[in-house]
Structures are given as structure tokens and as C-alpha cells.
Amino acid sequence: MLRIINPSDDPYFNMAVEDYLVHTPEIAADIFMLWQNRPTVVIGRHQNSSAEINLPLVREKNIAVVRRLSGGGAVYHDKGNLNFTFITRAQGIGLDFAAFSGPVIEVLRQLGVPAEHTGRNDIVISGCKFSGNAQYRFKTRLMHHGTILWDSNLEDVAEVLQPDESKTVARGITSVRSRVTNVAEHLDQPMPLKDFEQLLIEHIFRHSGEEQQRELSNLELRKIEELRDKKYSTWEWNYGQSPQYTQRRKAKFPWGSMEAFLLVKQGRVAQCKFYGDFFTIADLSVLETAIENHPLQQEAITTALQSLDPGTVIPGSTVEQIRSLLVD
């Protein structure tokens, strides 16, 4: 396994690093990388950025907002948070989170912290989340990345993120602050984050063979910086331009929450956009396009969805679930 050393705390650059590494076939080795961002909200690939953040506070505190390649929900990063990335050869067609969160859990348990994997993609301590994980596939490559709240500013987590109210109510929890925790609060003895980082590196390479490590080359840095400037630091990527939708509907399913924004002209769906904290294994636009140009009626939408099994785009989703979101 190859460990990429990336000291940058520029969130736009760091998203571009992941993009470059997962999409560059010449880098055939499995990759592991630890990295950090300055204060940042990282938005899931399919989320509506404006609906996920407290925009006035983000502007006031000069907090970056960047969209990542993977699905899932919004997360907050600062220098008290450690991010980890694995890029490997994809196995099977599902989304396996536990295989990659395992090393984090094992090291924390060695330190006496009762961490455990729960739900789709979280790692928790005593029911409180400290790590969110997400995945992205490209051809035969799989990227898994996750957060580790070590000693983050949890007040900023609570104030900056603006969660989906239906998710909070459904779980019987009244605030973001009550749902998250820092690992440092659960240690018997204080430990600097750098010490934990070293323990995690040693644990991973003890089980994966000899460690190879390197920094990014000058050529790679130039390519990544170009990707940062043309994609990840742009308004078009991080916020995008939304049309004047005439219908907005929201629902929660076992595989995640989803919002549908529809522009309807003369009874037909002229434009369809989906947002949410779900994960995908194919381009979401395939599902959106399948619905467009059809009458907004049960029978027509059902027929449109049956032409493309939604589960081939969003794992676990069904025709009936997507149809019920769009039309009664």
C-alpha cells in the first residue's frame, strides 16, 4: 500500500487530490492518505448546499464550503478533525463501509475507547457520532474516506451545519450538538492527535504489508492545482445554479433522505433534480433524465422508472419509493 503525504489544509486542493488519485489509472497501487482541512463544510455529491449550511454564519466565520465526489451528508472539518482516505480496487457492487472503518475502531479500542460501526456509514462512541464515512466508485477503483472528530469545535459543528429537520425528528434527537462527540473526551489519558495519527498508520501497515510513502510530485501538484482552480473552488461546483422549480417534495427511506425538485410544464416534467444524503453507484443524472419529459402522473412515472431500475443507481431504492416521492 502507498501512503500519500499531503500536508495541505486547503479544502479545495484536498478534494482535488482525491479526485486526481482515484481517476488516474497510472497509479495502480492501493492508496492510504491522512489529511486535514481548515474550517470547512464538506457537502455530499448530491446535496443542495444552501439547504445544508447556515450561510450567514459560514460567511461571517470565513468557513469554506466544498462539494466532494462521494454521496452522503454534510460534515464539518477543522484542525481538530483528522480525515482518512483509502483508494483500492473495487470489490463487488455494494457499499462496504465496515471494512474501511475497522482500523480506526481497532486502534481506538486499544486505547480503551469503545468505538463501534453503526447504521450505514457512522462510527460512534456510546451512541454519539465522531466519524462519518462515504464512498465513490470509478470503474474498477473505490475511494473510501471518513472523518475523525478528535478535538473539534463542536459548537461550530452545531451552528454551521443546518440539518434536515425530518432526520433529526425521526431519530428523536433535538440538535446536531447532542449527536456528536470528540474522541479526546473519551480517553483515559490525554493524547495529541499526531500521536493517534502515528498509531493508525502503524496499525494499517502492520496488516497491509510494507509501507511505501511519498509526497506528490511537481507534475501531480500542477495537475491537482489546475483541477482545484477549474472545479473545486468554483461556485458552479459547490453551489450550482438551480432552476425555478414549481414542486419540491421530501421523504426519508432506509437508504437515506431525498428531496425532489421538479419543473413542470404543461403537465410534463421538464426538469428533475434529486438531492439528499444517499449514496450512488452510478451517475445520478441517469435517474433524473429517465423521469424528464413524462407526464406527472402515477402510471407515467412508474413506467419511466421501470425502464431503469433505481437500485442500479441508488443501492436499495425501488420504483415504488421514487414514484411515491414524486407523485401521490
- Which stretches does DSSP call E strand in the chain? 2-5, 31-35, 40-43, 64-67, 75-77, 81-89, 115-118, 122-125, 128-138, 141-149, 212-215, 247-253, 256-265, 268-276
130 plus 257 within the same structural domain: no
89 plus 67 within the same structural domain: yes
229 plus 176 within the same structural domain: yes
Residue 256: domain span: 247-326
Query: C-alpha distances in angstroms, 177 versus 2, 182, 227, 249, 283?
Result: 36, 11, 34, 27, 33
Per the structure, the count of domains in the chain is 2
Residues 216-239: tens digit of each pLDDT: 999 999 999 999 999 999 988 987
At residue 90, the pLDDT reads: 82
Could you give the angle at the alpha carbon of 171 between the alpha carbons of 116 and 77, nearest 5°? 60
CATH number for 44: 3.30.930.10
Set of cell numbers at residue 134: 462515504
At residue 172, the pLDDT reads: 41
The last residue of a domain, from among 238, 256, 287:
238
At residue 165, the pLDDT reads: 56
At residue 167, the pLDDT reads: 52
At residue 163, the pLDDT reads: 62
CATH number for 266: 3.30.390.50
109 plus 185 within the same structural domain: yes
123 plus 219 within the same structural domain: yes
313 plus 233 within the same structural domain: no
Q: Count of CB atoms within 10 A of residue 173's CB?
A: 14
Give the residue carrying C-alpha cell 445520478: 284
231 plus 266 within the same structural domain: no
Q: How many residues does the chain have?
A: 328
Alpha carbons 231 and 20: distance in angstroms, whole number: 12
Per-residue pLDDT of the chain (328 residues; tens, 9 = 90+): 999 999 999 999 999 999 999 999 889 899 999 999 999 999 999 887 877 888 889 989 999 999 999 999 999 999 999 999 999 988 776 678 888 999 999 999 999 999 999 887 899 999 999 999 999 999 889 999 999 999 999 999 989 997 655 554 444 444 344 489 999 999 999 999 999 999 999 999 987 777 799 999 999 999 999 999 999 999 889 876 444 567 888 999 999 999 999 988 878 899 999 999 999 999 999 999 999 999 988 999 999 999 999 999 999 999 999 999 998 8
111 plus 231 within the same structural domain: yes
At residue 166, the pLDDT reads: 52
CB 101 within 8 A of CB 151: no
CB 16 within 8 A of CB 67: no
